[in-house]
Amino acid sequence: MRERIWQLHLFLKRHSFYALAFGSILTLGLLAARIVRYDRLSLVFLVWNLALAWIPYVASLWAVASQRRRPQAWWLLLPAGALWLLFFPNALYLVTDLVHLRERPPVPLWYDIGLLATFVLNGCWLAVVSLHHMQELVRRRAGALVSWLFVLAASGLSGLGVYMGRVLRWNSWDVLIEPRAVLADAIGPLLNPRGHVSPLALSAVFTAVLLICYAMYLAAYHGGRMQEDR
């Protein structure tokens, strides 16, 4: 039993769980302090958005664990991969919650700036860490080139998902409830780009945001690995 717990600890540590959990706990603490000090529930919905952002990260851990248990059974990655892709835009979606930044007396504006910034950072880190997990799985199966094509495709779909969530107000689970309507709204801008300049621009901007965050994450990740190898 102790050995299993220790192995789980090493697995979670190796995949950044503790750092991400600490970031989320600290963020929730800031929100709780806001509620207690100022008796304001105006931003409590961010807790739900943060919870949704955790789903792709947990799905990526599921995928990694499945691959380790049965390395040759690639089909076992499909449920975790589908769940990851379905909820992946929710992590980046937290960036758009900056639209809720405004003065809400008696809460100081600077406090809400810091609070929203922590939610945004949590979302970005949950996104890039889970993306790295999934890219590594693809790289081991199909090589480096395909893994980078996967990153570009997933980032583009995430940017499109942010548009569909923020502007069209679709949720991830609506793919299962109203698949035809969701698919029509997703494909529409791609089939008629001239008539959907704004949606495509929004999607492109958030795709770029994700790729920039991912590049910075990889720089820090590989920099740390190089230090460990010395």
State the total domains in the chain: 1
Per-residue confidence (pLDDT) for residue 228, from 0 to 100: 60
The pTM is what? 0.94
Q: Give the span between the Cα atoms of 142 and 146, in whole angstroms.
A: 6
Q: Which residues share a beta bridge with 104?
A: 107
The rounded mean pLDDT for the chain is 93
Task: Give the domain range for residue 153.
Answer: 2-229
Q: Cβ(137)–Cβ(77) under 8 Å? A: yes
pLDDT for the residue numbered 40: 86
Q: Poorest-confidence range of 37-51, 78-92, 181-195? A: 181-195
Whose CA is closest to 123, among 101, 92, 102?
92
pLDDT value at position 19? 96
**Strand residues in 71-213 grouped as ranges (E):** none
> What's the burial of 147, exposed, middle or buried (CB within 10 Å: 0-12/13-18/19+)?
middle
Give the up-direction half-sphere exposure of residue 169: CA atoms within 13 A in the CB hemisphere: 0
pLDDT at residue number 226:
56
Q: How confident is the model at residue 224 (pLDDT cuts 50, 70, 90)?
A: low
Helix, coil or strand: residue 203: helix
pLDDT at 225: 63
Distance CA 103, CA 156 (A): 33
